[in-house]
Amino acid sequence: MDSLVQTMVDSLRSIPGELVIAIISVLPILELRGGMLAATFLGVEVWKAFIICGVSTMLPIPFILLFINKIFDWMRNTRLVKLVNKLEAKGREKSKKINEYKTLGLFIFVAIPLPGTGAWTGALAASLMRMPLKNSLLSIGLGTLAADIIMTLVSYGVLGAFL
């Protein structure tokens, strides 16, 4: 992930650092983990990075929760059916881990900043599990906040002082 984020930072050097981390944080897979890494590369102040990464990561989540099933239904009637099947399989695989604890499971899944977890995948899993919108948004929002705190502490070296 470091090299991908570094490449993106280098490619976007002509725009303000805050916008670079917002762009990276809104992208699937990278999300706030990548945004926080980019923030440290760019020397963005910790409080700005915390807010921008958290908010940017959450921006697409309501849209995913509201529309992904409809988009998948439409895509099934196109040449993209294989992509839909792949994304649904990934979502179902992740939802097995979440399903046992429902709302708390979704929070934990999003909060732990590891590859394959995060707000995008959590929203996909919640949609496939047909979790209520309110519960999904709350769990994903709080999980994103927790991941943001963890990544801020790790990225800005605060935890390093204790390890």
The DSSP secondary structure of 86-154, one letter per residue, reads HHHHHHHHHHHHHHTTHHHHHHHHHHS--TT-SHHHHHHHHHHTT--HHHHHHHHHHHHHHHHHHHHHH
Our CA angle for 89, 90, 93, nearest 5°, is: 85
Its sign, for the CA torsion 3, 14, 38, 68, is negative
Task: Supply the pLDDT for residue 93.
Answer: 76
pLDDT in tens, 131-163: 999 999 999 999 999 999 999 999 887 655 554
Q: What is the pTM of this model?
A: 0.84
CB 39 within 8 A of CB 155: yes
Task: Supply the pLDDT for residue 162.
Answer: 53
Task: Supply the pLDDT for residue 77.
Answer: 81
